[in-house]
Structure 1
Amino acid sequence: MNTYLIPVDFSKTADHAAKYAARLSWTMPNSKLILLNSYYVSEYESILPTPDLMVTTDDRIADEIESRLAALHKLKSKLLEINPQADIEISLSRETILRSVVNRINKEEIDLIILGSNGKRAKNESDIGSNAIKISKASPVPVLVVPPKADYQSIRKAILACDFKKVKEIVPINALKKILSKHEIDLLVLGINAGEEVDQEEEGTLRDMLKDYNPKYYYSAHNDTIKGIVKFAKAEEAQIIIALPKKYSFFEGLLHQSVSHKLTIKSHIPVLLLKD
């Protein structure tokens, strides 16, 4: 079974990622979706009034829980319209979002976390979107980050961005092989040295690691690494970009609010962060 964990906070960002997951599950038989909402009330919130002078009483907490469960059921119904055969579980956690995700992963085998990233015009829209990097760093399993404008497409072509440095340490080869073995994907490796001389030994190591999958190799000297990667992915009509787990500079940049309108709003390419 393919089990997908989808953290949701009922924002458009999170709902979009959940719908993406439902469409993905349609193409993956024997899939399970877990809609996870986090409702954490600190000790201070139960003692001190909110800015509007409201105290978080037990009754208010109970009402909020009931409201969130109703919203989870409503979202589940929407996803079943996309994939009527989907196995969907709803889960409400009273922990913080990070702890909720980690605890769920420890509870059962999760294959993939799917979450949405906030666009430039949705700076404060989604708490999950604004914490995408933290969730990804805390997660021991792969994370798929879905941009606001990303419509689901069957994955036929993937871009693996790599700077050919410390390849054996950086490339999560086991996780990558697991993905490539499950799907018929054309893999394009993009060197992102931005004009630096390529380390031939490191590149040779990567070529040897991936030789069974016959990837094609390209090189980008674009001064803006992020723009160079996405421009290349768009030109190649790729469906996904693979970011490396120990190279968060690219991943953080892709999600950062200061990135260009093209990346944060118009990009249709999800980012997959793999973990070994």
Structure 2
Amino acid sequence: MKTLLIPVDFTATSDNAVTFAAEWCRKYEYERVILLRTFYDNVFDHIVLSAEYAPVSQEYRQQERTETLEKMGVLSEQLRTALGDGITVTTAVSEMPLLRAILSVIREEKPEMLLVGSDNYSYSSGSFIAGNVIAIVKASPIRVLIVPAGYTYQPVRTALVPCDYNSMAVMDKFNNLPASPLWTATKLLVLNVDAKEKYLHPDEAFKNAENNLHEYLKNFNHEIIYSNEKNVVDGILNATQTKDVQLIVALRGKRSFLYYLTHKSISEAIYRNAKEPVLILK
């Protein structure tokens, strides 16, 4: 059963991710959506910030859980209505920390992809999930789709795929993807950020790299484009602005875009500045 997992925390960013997911699931033929909410809190959550630092009562904690379960019910019903017939919506709650809860559901339910909302440089909803995007990306064994706050769903016609010619083998991951309307209807713009502008006067090695890339993507509608930006992130973000792109696709690999994404300073530059969703292949 083709399943999408969505951690939620009832913030505007999280709610927007759920709204986006409804359109995504209908378009790309998902059969089930799991909404996950963790009740886990740390010791400081049991303290009211007052002059007395009074401990929160068990009655208050129980009321909080009851209200959370009610919100989960409302959210799941709204999603069922938006999805229509043919797609099942289930909810999961956990007492474990966020990452452990996500990994537990992945092990038990085998979702195909994880979808999370992300705040950006100019907006913060206070989302706990959005504040842990990079940790989620690094821990997840399955694909992760990061949806920027406020982004309205658009069918993916063109996807930007940053590619480092020194790490070409990661492109073979495209040939291991399950069949999906996403890939049959999408053109891949494969971006190589080449500050030295070798693409203007390619040598034999550069031509071989291009040929290898075409071979890896022979089953996909694709085009290679170049940027002479000195900074990889700038090259990626500028390309999303100058091209009609609805999705950024990142792949694993020591020198791949995901390698940069998992380094905090650069990762923040991407997920807090990218205006398009980012899909990370595993």
Which deviates more, 244-253 or 84-93? 244-253
Which deviates more, 53-62 or 246-255? 246-255
> Which letter does structure 2 place at the counterpart of 1:106?
R
Question: Which segments of 5 or more consecutive residues in structure 2 lack a partner in the other structure?
Answer: 200-204
Which deviates more, 143-152 or 182-191? 182-191
Assess if the C-alpha contact under 8 Å between 1:2 and 1:28 holds in 2: no
Aligned residue among 209, 226, 237 for 2:244 = 237
Residue of structure 1 equivalent to 2:226: 219
> Which letter does structure 2 place at the counterpart of 1:249?
Y
Distance in 2 between the 1:249 and 1:55 partners?
42
Identity %: 28
Matches within 5 A, 1:41-120: 41-42=41-42, 44=43, 49-52=47-50, 53-85=53-85, 86-120=87-121
Which deviates more, 170-179 or 211-220? 170-179
Matches within 5 A, 1:5-44: 5-42=5-42, 44=43
> Which letter does structure 1 place at the counterpart of 2:7?
P
Distance in 2 between the 1:50 and 1:239 partners?
43
> Which letter does structure 2 place at the counterpart of 1:65?
R
- Residue 120 of structure 1: SS of its match in structure 2? coil
Deviation at 1:110, TM superposition (A): 0.7
Tell me if 1:204 matches 2:196.
no
Assess if the C-alpha contact under 8 Å between 1:118 and 1:255 holds in 2: no
Deviations 1:116-137 (A, max 9, x none): 1111233461111110010011
- Residue 165 of structure 2: SS of its match in structure 1? coil
Number of residue pairs aligned between Structure 1 and Structure 2: 268
- TM-score, normalised to structure 2's length? 0.83
Assess if the C-alpha contact under 8 Å between 1:226 and 1:253 holds in 2: no
For the aligned residue pairs, the C-alpha RMSD in angstroms reads: 2.7
Deviation at 1:242, TM superposition (A): 0.5
Deviations 1:12-62 (A, max 9, x none): 1111111100111222345211111111134x459x744332424433332
Assess if the C-alpha contact under 8 Å between 1:143 and 1:273 holds in 2: yes
Tell me if 1:248 matches 2:255.
no
Assess if the C-alpha contact under 8 Å between 2:183 and 2:220 holds in 1: no
Assess if the C-alpha contact under 8 Å between 2:156 and 2:182 holds in 1: no
- TM-score, normalised to structure 1's length? 0.85
Distance in 1 between the 2:220 and 2:167 partners?
21
Deviation at 1:271, TM superposition (A): 0.4
Distance in 2 between the 1:227 and 1:179 partners?
30
Assess if the C-alpha contact under 8 Å between 1:154 and 1:239 holds in 2: yes
Which deviates more, 90-99 or 55-64? 55-64
Assess if the C-alpha contact under 8 Å between 2:247 and 2:279 holds in 1: yes
Residues 181 and 71 of structure 1, relative CA distance in 2, 3 Å threshold:
closer
Deviation at 1:138, TM superposition (A): 0.4
Tell me if 1:147 matches 2:148.
yes
Deviations 1:195-246 (A, max 9, x none): 3646524443322211222421111112333232233233321210101223
